[in-house]
Amino acid sequence: MILGYTTGVFDLFHVGHVNLLRNAKGMCDKLVVGVTTDELVSYKNKKSVISFEERMEVVRSCRYVDAVIPQEDMDKYTQWQKVKFDVMFVGDDWFKTEKWQQIDEKFKAEGVRVVYFPYTKGTSSTLINNVLLDLRNDK
């Protein structure tokens, strides 16, 4: 059995999230998803629109997801020590960044594969938030 893992804020759930989860599930038998806690979202000086509990429930309801757990820190290796996944799915905006090259090397030593998926062009929670803000300001 291949256990897959991915993480995200999953705020304003959209087709890009569905694409990530569907593609990830297609490459593993069981998919565990870490949903970023509200406290951890603030590390980016951001605030999610949807509460952590509701984001967990939305992700849990997706048919491609087998289990949902909190992502309470950014250390992917610590999460691997808890979950013991075989493959981790990440957005390709992290591909070949210094941070992810280090994570990738550490995971290779453990036999964990990192798969980078392309972001869905034209949609993101940030873009949706900006459009909503623009619409509110036009009133």
Q: In this structure, what CATH number is given to the domain that contains residue 61? A: 3.40.50.620
Domain total in the chain: 1
Active site residue 44: yes
pLDDT digits (tens, 9 = 90+) for 67-118: 999 999 989 999 999 999 999 999 887 777 888 889 999 999 999 999 998 8
pLDDT digits (tens, 9 = 90+) for 20-34: 999 999 999 999 999
Quote the pTM value.
Answer: 0.85
User: So what's the pLDDT on residue 46?
Assistant: 76
Range of the domain at 76: 3-137
Comparison of pLDDT for 49 and 82, the residue scoring more: 82
HEC readout, the chain: CCEEEEEECCCCCCHHHHHHHHHHHCCCCEEEEEEECHHHHHHHCCCCCCCHHHHHHHHHCCCCCCEEEEECCCCHHHHHHHHCCCEEEEEHHHCCCHHHHHHHHHHHHCCCEEEEECCCCCCCHHHHHHHHHHHHHCC
Q: Which of 44, 47, 96, 139 is an active site residue?
A: 44
Q: Which of 25, 30, 46, 47 is an active site residue?
A: 46
User: So what's the pLDDT on residue 14?
Assistant: 86
Active site residue 82: no
